[in-house]
Amino acid sequence: MDYLAGLNPSQRGAVEQTKGPVMIVAGAGSGKTRVITYRVAHLVNQGVDPFNILVLTFTNKAAKEMRERIKSVVGAEAKNIWMGTFHSVFARILRVEAELLGYPKNFTIYDTDDSKSLLRAIIKEMNLNDKLYNVNHVYGRISSAKNNLISPQEYNKNEAILAEDHSNGRGQLGQLYMTYAQRCYRAGAMDFDDLLFKTNVLLNKYPEVLHKYQHQFRYLMVDEYQDTNFSQYLIVKRLAAVNENICVVGDDAQSIYAFRGANIQNILNFQKDYPDVKVFKLEQNYRSTKMIVDAANSIIANNKNQLEKNVFSDNEEGEKIKVSRAFSDNEEGKIIAEAIAQEKSLKGLYFKDFAILYRTNAQSRSMEEALRKIGIPYKIYGGTSFYQRKEIKDLIAYFRLTFNPNDEEALKRVINYPRRGIGDTTVERIIVAADQHQTRLWNIVENAGMYLDGRSSSSVGNFGLMIQSFQAIAKTNTAFDTAMHIAQHTGILKDLYEDKSVEGLSRYENIQELLNGIKEFSEREDIEEKGLDVFMQDIALLTNDDNDKNPNADTVSLMTIHSSKGLEFPVVFVVGLEENLFPSQLSLNSRTELEEERRLFYVAVTRAEKKLYLSYATSRYRFGSLNNCEPSRFLDELNPACLELDFRPKEMKSENNSAFNSERVAWQQADTFTKPKPKVVKTTSILPKAHVPSEGFKPSDTSVLEVGMEVEHERFGFGKVINLEGNKPDIKATIFFKELGQKQLLLKFAKLRVV
């Protein structure tokens, strides 16, 4: 069939090998994702029912794009393929099976904020020291237990784990985990890790359910397999056990989620689990120029732990990789913004052909400022989700309560918002009463008259009645009508409307936007169930990328390297290549962590198709103070033959700039970044000999200067005049200095000498 013509022989082999276990471990840009996409299309073309195909991707966005491509080959049937992230696919299955596990069908998905808020409450109740029991640490520990399928009961029986906690002075972690799990259960809520953990419980405990899904998903495919954790690995293994039609693709060199429990071993285990696995090698990179592929190979060669792979490109040689140094993070932004404007006009590109990748979200600020300044449109991916904004979470908490009144985090969030006279003391009383009577908070709220006294009983009771009235409305109304009713009757709309500050206005607009989204959902023709409960189902799993109203807009993309996985752009900027930033300070203690940082760099570099820019700043504001930075060791590791150094000097406002000397030293040292780097120190005057002013420097007399003349400047050294503009006495000279590069000087002040 002609769509198979777009594949090379190995790719085609993997696509046509539809039966039995298949594994592809291959380098970046070699067409792994393309193989999965074509394989699904091929299966459907061969008559496999799309309902029998399950494809697991790393992001919702990737799934969406893949579905679009498959649709272009097989048509509307593509809609019926089970495709999405592990979390979204198994949340969907858990909704069907939840009652078996004692959860309501409308169980809530607690997002990270909900989980942490619950943990904070428990840490307080247990009178634990919240420094020792830092909520992020506790959350991470519980998450890692769940991803290794260690239940609270097992945790508390495991001598080794308990001993480790004890030796760290955190002997109560086991109890904390137990209480947290009980509270989630009582609230009818699952956190993110539960979606995988409970799926495992379901498939393990209920053979008939396992059987059902094993027969439903006759063909399984997993992209980015190197980043699956144990919990995900086991789900896939269980589901594939009967038919063994499983195809996984990945690249060990791109494993970047070990910190979240991902395990490269899953790739190695695959061969043990399925001894008759067919392994396909993909060695040709179709994405990038030779230059970029060479550079990427030179990076990853520094890692000791990796599978042997051969990656080559038949694409054009391509331009060298440009390395830029800036004096500050703001200047780095400026250099990049200018480079985008230049490349765009020079090569006739679109803004959407550019991506700026950084190690940490905080780095986006200086980039954004610089882009805004010269009017370049951009979009930030993977930032705070629309659904994470306070006002949106408030309204959604009411929706959550409507469908699951046991959702305690939602209840605590809005019981007194907008204010209705239910103060902290009353909330405390509700919690105590629930504990005393071994019941849920909602039971106390619903029967406030029985459990609480006086005034608080009536305000709490009224709150309960209001939620009950929402439940009645939701039964018979569309998502939009229910949502609008709730927004009005809770007083949220009014509360935000009355706030006329800029922030208040934007919050009001956000609520409007949410309501508009729900309206669109209510009017969709491709779905039958249009209740608010359906709209709400995986809202907690959406990121701001999924809320992208205009995915084809012509904008530069800004994102962390982690979120750039699997993507590609003609021109890529990897910024902030500095020690302690990239590699991150936290990774410098062990080889394993440093190697993960290096893989991250490899991922970043391999996103580029035609042109790659790398940059670093010699000083940067971090955590509120200005720090001197050294270039990243990763720059040293790149094949120097692939690099072009672009070390422009900073445009100085005045020649008497006091920071000049130290910057200059930094700048001179930066030239030597391939050698060991001495620390940047602030000094007053260590101008090299050649620059010590000799006699004859004086503000230049323009009549003697001509384009092409060689000159020496008192401080900038030797250079050549490349342009003169303006009229006397305000003539500006553009001079290319040997060491500093190009600068513009006002001649009446410039201390120059013709040589």
Task: Give the residue numbers marked as catalytic.
Answer: 32-33, 223-224, 254, 607
> What is the spatial distance between Cα 626 and Cα 619, in angstroms, rounded to a whole number?
7
- Taking the complex as a whole, the smallest distance from the CB of residue 33 to Mg ion amounts, in Å, to 3
Residue type (1 letter), 214 = Q
Q: Does 27 bind Mg ion (CB under 5 A)?
A: no
DSSP 675: S
- Which residues fall in the annotated binding site? 26-33
Q: Which helix (H) or strand (E) holds 229?
A: none
Q: Can you tell me which of 566, 576, 583, 631 binds Mg ion, judged by CB under 5 A?
A: 566
Tally Cβ neighbours within 10 Å of residue 548: 14
> What is the spatial distance between Cα 752 and Cα 736, in angstroms, rounded to a whole number?
13
Residues 219-258 that bind ligand ATP (CB under 6 A): 251, 254
The contact mask relative to ligand ATP for 329-358 (x = CB under 6 A, - = no) is ------------------------------
**Is the CB of 297 or the CB of 564 nearer to Mg ion?**
564
* Whole-number Cα distances in Å, 6 to 3, 17, 31, 36, 293: 6, 16, 11, 13, 21
Cross-strand bridge partners of residue 720: 710, 736
Binding span for ligand ATP by CB under 6 A among 7-15, 52-60, 238-246, 363-371: 7-15
556 binds, among ligand ATP, Mg ion, none (CB under 5 to 8 A by kind): none
List for the chain the helix, strand, coil content (%; round to 5): 50, 15, 35
174 binds, among Mg ion, ligand ATP, none (CB under 5 to 8 A by kind): none
> What is the spatial distance between Cα 285 and Cα 306, in angstroms, rounded to a whole number?
18
Q: Does 61 bind ligand ATP (CB under 6 A)?
A: no
Size of the site for ligand ATP (CB under 6 A): 18
Structure-derived torsion over alpha carbons of residues 309, 239, 227, 189, reported in degrees to the nearest 10: 180
Residue type (1 letter), 634 = F
Judge contact between 598 and 299, C-beta under 8 A. Answer: yes
- Taking the complex as a whole, the smallest distance from the CB of residue 473 to Mg ion amounts, in Å, to 45
Q: Can you say whether residue 514 is alpha, beta or left, with left for phi > 0 and alpha for psi between -120 and 50 degrees?
A: alpha
Size of the site for Mg ion (CB under 5 A): 3
- Taking the complex as a whole, the smallest distance from the CB of residue 223 to Mg ion amounts, in Å, to 6
Binding span for Mg ion by CB under 5 A among 27-35, 150-158, 552-560, 667-675: 27-35
Judge contact between 618 and 628, C-beta under 8 A. Answer: yes
Q: Does 318 bind ligand ATP (CB under 6 A)?
A: no
* Burial class of 639 by CB neighbour count within 10 A (0 to 12, 13 to 18, 19+): middle
Q: Can you tell me which of 3, 185, 206, 286 binds ligand ATP, judged by CB under 6 A?
A: 286
Q: Can you tell me which of 14, 22, 30, 245 binds ligand ATP, judged by CB under 6 A?
A: 30
Q: Which helix (H) or strand (E) holds 626?
A: strand 625-628
> What is the spatial distance between Cα 700 and Cα 706, in angstroms, rounded to a whole number?
11
Judge contact between 336 and 575, C-beta under 8 A. Answer: yes
- Taking the complex as a whole, the smallest distance from the CB of residue 68 to Mg ion amounts, in Å, to 15
Q: Does 31 bind ligand ATP (CB under 6 A)?
A: yes
Binding span for Mg ion by CB under 5 A among 282-290, 419-427, 562-570, 742-750: 562-570
Q: Does 33 bind ligand ATP (CB under 6 A)?
A: yes
Q: Does 423 bind ligand ATP (CB under 6 A)?
A: no
Q: Can you say whether residue 508 is alpha, beta or left, with left for phi > 0 and alpha for psi between -120 and 50 degrees?
A: alpha
Q: Does 8 bind ligand ATP (CB under 6 A)?
A: yes
Q: Does 250 bind Mg ion (CB under 5 A)?
A: no
**Is the CB of 35 or the CB of 496 nearer to ligand ATP?**
35
The contact mask relative to ligand ATP for 69-88 (x = CB under 6 A, - = no) is --------------------
Residue number closest to ligand ATP, CB atom:
31
708 is written with which tokens? 């092409």
**Is the CB of 36 or the CB of 487 nearer to Mg ion?**
36
Tell the residue number behind the tokens 């392994």, with chain if given. 279
Strands, E, within 506-592: which ranges? 556-560, 569-574
Q: Does 306 bind ligand ATP (CB under 6 A)?
A: no
446 binds, among Mg ion, ligand ATP, none (CB under 5 to 8 A by kind): none
Q: Does 359 bind ligand ATP (CB under 6 A)?
A: no
Q: Does 206 bind ligand ATP (CB under 6 A)?
A: no
Q: Using CA of residue 296, residue 302, residue 303, residue 306, what is the dihedral sign?
A: positive
- Which residues fall in the annotated binding site for ATP? 26-33
30 binds, among ligand ATP, Mg ion, none (CB under 5 to 8 A by kind): ligand ATP
Q: Does 34 bind ligand ATP (CB under 6 A)?
A: yes
- Closest residue by Cα to residue 405 from 482, 481, 471, 484: 471
Give the binding site for Mg ion (CB under 5 A): 32-33, 566
Give the binding site for ligand ATP (CB under 6 A): 6-8, 11, 28-34, 251, 254, 286-287, 566, 568, 606
